[in-house]
């Protein structure tokens, strides 16, 4: 390939990324659910006709993007090529063939140029409700957690499946929001398809074959170069998480050998009777993300870069089999990167950040009028983040969603969706672990129902009994806590009640510190005191 051709291909690669970014932004702008519209809990990508991911949108989460890379293959296996037509859109929320739980809707659309199938567009988003017990850990099987949609057609030749829509309306609490999000998902794939065909016509390409070969070959070469620089060997790490009612042990062993990084989760605790189990597809997504953050953070994420990482596990909490309850698979799944990074820290000492809050502190609120009073009913979902671990050379980021990467929803958007009031939302002093570099701070969030209302809420919290650990002499971050404003302690997981007139107080956990505290720059400590990150009573 000449230098001019190579430059041209690189330009087209960048153009393809802009196509999927517009695809994702279409979903972001048209979604009904605040979790999508305000938090960016979504993903979008373009795939070749074999189902290999060519490019992903920058907007989105690793849990969605990396599971989608495998999910498209399940769609292709389920729907024969002769049954694929222009104008089709396929859908599922199967946790084992999609993104790990029923609340995520994955849609895949074939892209035809004339009569030729040139690729697929896929997208995923978290919807506000799928029926069942609601978004929480209380289910004892996936059958209790909501409506299950097997891989099927949402639309054929542009004609929407009205039977599916009728079934959704009969099974969810917020049918307008949910069905609106289904249409938004389908629309974003349609935008991607239109932009792709425009691009191919403009440059005179009949299909994506040549560009795909260029993308995969360059990616593969770049990843192999990075792997060659890594030390070879095997390292392991263990971590305790809160679990539902008893702590859960997670174990990872990482082997760096030749042109592969192998991760095995044998030794992790068995499946839980509660909805915190993780399908392997989701475990793989976050394990690969953690490795890529260290090995190749600047190399585009596609099927070629992901192929360098093998993830395995016997049946356990990180490889839960159907029909295990999996609604809160993210709580344990978001701990996987810190688990993997802890093993990599032994291979690459001094180069890996400390543990952070990990799991999002999601809260699903079911608000209603007090008994005997009139008022509004609503399902309200909030995403909240604790602190990241400190990094070699830098303090941890405060109130930041790592590893998921979603945004925190604005208070105004949350209050607009239902009768709730956010009375306080501020950084939590002293929550970051001390060290040469301080862990990121958590938050304090105070939530009450609007006058004349009360609410039930689903707690989805971790790092309450098991704090984020510091690294290389850094101190642990502060654990979280859940209570009412009268001091009544509440459980970190499960559906619970907040009476009218009471407020829910969430103290989100902080990240661990990095390096010995006595090595911290005195000026940095003074700045922390001045900004209120550290109180004067803390040494």
Report the distance separating Cα 197 and Cα 18, nearest Å.
13
Assigned token pair, 115: 């009569």
Q: Which residues contact 351 (CB under 8 A, 6 or more apart)?
A: 294, 345, 392
HSE-CB for 188 with a 13 A CA cutoff: 32
In 3D, which of 209, 219, 224 has the Cα closest to residue 258? 224
Q: What is the DSSP string of 152-193?
A: EEEEETTEE-HHHHHHHHHH-S-HHHHHHHHHHHHHHHHHHH
For the chain, domains (ranges, CATH) are 3-219 (3.30.450), 353-539 (no CATH)
DSSP, collapsed to helix, strand or coil, labels residue 19 as helix
Q: How many angstroms separate the CA atoms of 17 and 455, rounded?
A: 43
CB 456 within 8 A of CB 437: no
23 CB-near residues (< 8 Å, 6+ apart): 44, 46, 57, 121, 123, 188, 189, 191, 192, 195
Biggest CA pair distance of the chain: 77
Separation CA 528–CA 522 (nearest Å): 10
pLDDT tens sequence for the chain (539 residues): 777 788 889 999 999 999 999 999 999 899 888 888 887 888 999 999 999 999 998 877 888 889 999 999 999 999 999 999 999 999 999 999 999 999 999 999 999 999 999 999 999 999 989 999 989 999 999 999 999 999 999 999 999 999 999 999 999 998 999 999 999 999 999 999 999 999 999 999 999 999 999 999 999 999 999 999 999 999 999 999 999 989 999 999 999 998 899 999 999 999 999 999 999 999 999 999 999 999 999 999 999 999 999 999 999 999 999 999 999 999 999 999 999 999 999 999 999 999 999 999 999 999 999 998 989 999 888 999 999 999 999 999 999 999 998 888 889 989 998 999 999 999 999 999 999 999 999 999 999 999 999 999 999 999 999 999 999 999 999 999 999 999 999 999 999 999 999 999 999 999 999 999 999 999 999 999 999 999 975 44
Contact 192, 55 (CB under 8 A): no
Both tokens of 314, joined, read 């016997």
Residue 394 has what DSSP assignment? B
Contact 191, 397 (CB under 8 A): no
Distance CA(394)–CA(413), nearest Å, equals 32
């Amino acid at each position: 390939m000449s230098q001019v051709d190579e430059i041209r291909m690189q330009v087209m690669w960048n153009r393809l990324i802009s196509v999927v970014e517009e695809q994702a932004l279409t979903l972001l702008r048209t979604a009904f659910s605040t979790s999508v519209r305000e938090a960016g809990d979504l993903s979008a990508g373009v795939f070749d006709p074999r189902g290999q991911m060519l490019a992903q949108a920058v907007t989105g989460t690793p849990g969605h993007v990396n599971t989608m890379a495998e999910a498209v293959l399940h769609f292709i296996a389920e729907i024969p090529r002769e049954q694929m037509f222009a104008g089709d859109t396929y859908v599922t929320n199967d946790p084992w063939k999609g993104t790990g739980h029923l609340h995520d809707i994955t849609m895949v659309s074939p892209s035809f140029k004339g009569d030729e199938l040139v690729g697929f567009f896929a997208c995923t988003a978290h919807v506000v409700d799928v029926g069942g017990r609601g978004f929480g850990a209380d289910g004892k099987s996936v059958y209790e957690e909501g409506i299950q949609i097997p891989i099927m057609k949402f639309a054929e030749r542009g004609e929407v499946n009205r039977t599916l829509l009728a079934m959704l309306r009969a099974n969810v609490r917020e049918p307008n929001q949910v069905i609106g999000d289904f249409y938004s998902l389908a629309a974003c794939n349609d935008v991607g398809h239109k932009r792709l065909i425009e691009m191919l016509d403009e440059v005179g390409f009949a299909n994506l074959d040549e560009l795909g070969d260029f993308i995969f070959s360059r990616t593969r070469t770049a990843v192999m170069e990075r792997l060659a620089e890594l030390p070879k060997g095997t390292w392991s790490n263990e971590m305790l998480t809160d679990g539902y009612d008893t702590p859960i042990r997670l174990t990872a062993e990482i082997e760096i050998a030749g042109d592969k990084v192998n991760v095995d989760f044998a030794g992790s605790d068995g499946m839980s009777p509660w909805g915190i189990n993780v399908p392997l597809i989701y475990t793989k997504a976050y394990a690969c993300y953690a490795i890529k953050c260290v090995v190749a953070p600047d190399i585009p994420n596609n099927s070629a870069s992901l192929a360098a990482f093998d993830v395995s596990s016997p049946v356990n909490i990180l490889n839960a089999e159907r029909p295990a309850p999996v609604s809160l698979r993210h709580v344990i799944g978001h701990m996987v990167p810190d688990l993997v990074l802890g093993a990599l820290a032994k291979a690459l000492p001094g180069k890996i950040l400390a543990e952070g809050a990990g799991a999002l502190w999601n809260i699903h609120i079911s608000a209603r009028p007090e008994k005997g009073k009139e008022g509004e009913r609503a399902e309200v979902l909030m995403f909240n983040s604790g602190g990241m671990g400190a990094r070699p050379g830098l303090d941890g980021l405060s109130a930041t969603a790592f590893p998921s990467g979603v945004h925190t929803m604005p208070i105004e958007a949350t209050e607009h969706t239902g009768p709730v009031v956010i009375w306080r939302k501020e950084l939590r002093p002293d929550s970051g672990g001390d060290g040469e570099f301080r862990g990121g701070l958590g938050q304090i969030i105070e939530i009450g129902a609007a006058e004349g209302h009360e609410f039930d809420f689903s707690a989805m919290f971790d790092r309450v009994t098991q704090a984020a650990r510091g690294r290389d002499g850094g101190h642990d971050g502060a654990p979280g806590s859940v209570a009412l404003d009268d001091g009544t302690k509440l459980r970190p997981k499960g559906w619970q009640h907040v009476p009218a007139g009471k407020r829910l107080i969430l103290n989100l956990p902080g990240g661990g510190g990095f390096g010995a505290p006595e090595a911290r720059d005195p000026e940095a400590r003074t700045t922390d005191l001045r900004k209120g990150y550290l109180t004067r009573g803390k040494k």
